[in-house]
């Protein structure tokens, strides 16, 4: 298993913060888990968390004091190099031992947490105290809550602190969206949220294209996906990637590099956007 395929959300005695080598970050990312109970309104066919299962904690709330102590400890271990003396991280090459970001990800949709805004401010303070200016704060979201004012305000604050929003759009049509996301949140809600949010704030659109029952997305689906992107406002770039880890169903598998690159090229030609691939 490669380092980018090894993404456990528990590290040693830490419960809410974990290090990974991320394909899309291009190096070391520290994950923040505000959803140890697996709180999410999607049930994606490619979800690593659904495949592995989650432990049920005693409380749905994360103790902020423990979260702060764990993040402080982990950042310090990156800065002094002791992280890279431990387990799999001893294998990390020198050029990947640079902290790229602190990312809200974890076992569910982070913006559903009632502690999301408080946690963003906590992370911003620790980043300012312990990290260099290049380190980003990333929020990985399925875009279902972008219309909620408290979430918008927290994300706006995050952007002011070298933040970047990775907002999910995995389909171009409602039918394909439901096959992938398996959610009660309507596709139109996601599209409307993204359209309205990107009038005011930039996002990086993140898209997982994969093979379902041996078939990748059709040309029709990719064309409609590109049309959805053209409806958006401030799109920093597009991440098109595929499955890298275990899925909860054996008929959801990764796409090969060539079809993934072909999709990306089609999207570039139709939208003119910066499209980056992560096979």
Q: What is the pLDDT of residues 51-69, one digit of tens each?
A: 666 565 556 799 999 999 9
Q: In the chain, what percentage of residues exceed pLDDT 70?
A: 93
pLDDT at 94: 87
pLDDT at 55: 61
Indicate the pLDDT class of residue 1, thresholds 50, 70 and 90. very low
Which residues pair with residue 48 across a beta bridge? none
pLDDT at 171: 98
pLDDT at 192: 98
pLDDT tops 70 at residue 4: no
Q: In whole numbers, what is the pLDDT of the chain averaged over residues?
A: 93
Q: Locate 269 and state its tokens.
A: 């030609």
pLDDT at 6: 47
Q: What is the pLDDT of residues 125-156, one digit of tens each?
A: 999 999 999 999 999 999 999 999 999 999 99
Domain count, the chain: 1
Quote the pTM value: 0.92
**Average of per-residue pLDDT across 14-34:** 94
pLDDT at 150: 98
Going by C-alpha positions, the residue among 129, 110, 130 that lies closest to residue 120 is: 110
pLDDT tops 60 at residue 160: yes
* Boundaries of domain holding 159: 3-278
- Sign for the CA dihedral angle at 240, 246, 248, 249 comes to positive
114 contacts 148 by C-beta, under 8 angstroms:
no
CATH number for 57: 3.20.20.70
Q: What is the pLDDT of residues 78-129, one digit of tens each?
A: 999 999 997 788 888 888 899 999 999 999 999 999 999 999 999 999 999 9
pLDDT tops 80 at residue 12: no
pLDDT at 49: 82
Going by C-alpha positions, the residue among 219, 242, 228, 241 that lies closest to residue 273 is: 228
- Our measurement of the distance from residue 61's CA atom to the centroid of its chain's CA atoms, rounded to an integer in Å, reads 21
pLDDT at 95: 87
Q: What is the pLDDT of residues 169-195, one digit of tens each?
A: 999 999 999 999 999 999 999 999 999
């Amino acid at each position: 298993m490669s380092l980018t395929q090894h993404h456990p959300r528990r590290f040693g005695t830490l419960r809410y913060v974990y290090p990974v080598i991320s394909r899309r970050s291009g190096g070391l990312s520290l994950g923040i888990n505000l959803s140890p109970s697996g709180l999410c309104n999607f049930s994606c066919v490619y979800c690593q968390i659904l495949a592995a299962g989650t432990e049920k904690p005693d409380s749905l709330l994360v103790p902020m004091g423990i979260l702060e102590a764990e993040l402080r400890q982990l950042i310090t271990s990156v800065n002094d190099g002791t992280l890279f003396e431990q387990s799999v991280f001893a294998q990390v090459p020198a050029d990947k031992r640079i902290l790229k970001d602190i990312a809200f990800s974890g076992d569910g949709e982070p913006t559903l947490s009632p502690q999301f805004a408080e946690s963003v401010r906590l992370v911003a303070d620790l980043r300012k105290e312990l990290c260099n200016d290049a380190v980003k704060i990333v929020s990985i979201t399925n875009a279902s809550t972008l219309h909620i004012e408290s979430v918008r305000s927290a994300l706006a604050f995050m952007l002011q602190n070298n933040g970047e929003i990775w907002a999910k759009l995995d389909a171009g049509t409602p039918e394909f969206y439901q096959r992938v996301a398996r959610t009660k949140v309507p596709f139109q809600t996601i599209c409307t949220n993204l359209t309205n949010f990107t009038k005011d704030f930039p996002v990086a659109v993140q898209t997982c294209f994969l093979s379902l029952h041996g078939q990748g997305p059709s040309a029709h689906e990719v064309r409609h996906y590109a049309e959805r992107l053209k409806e958006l406002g401030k799109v920093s770039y597009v991440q098109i990637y595929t499955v890298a880890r275990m899925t909860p169903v054996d008929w959801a598998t990764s796409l090969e590099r060539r079809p993934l690159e072909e999709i990306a090229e089609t999207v570039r030609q139709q939208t003119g956007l910066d499209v980056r691939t992560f096979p």
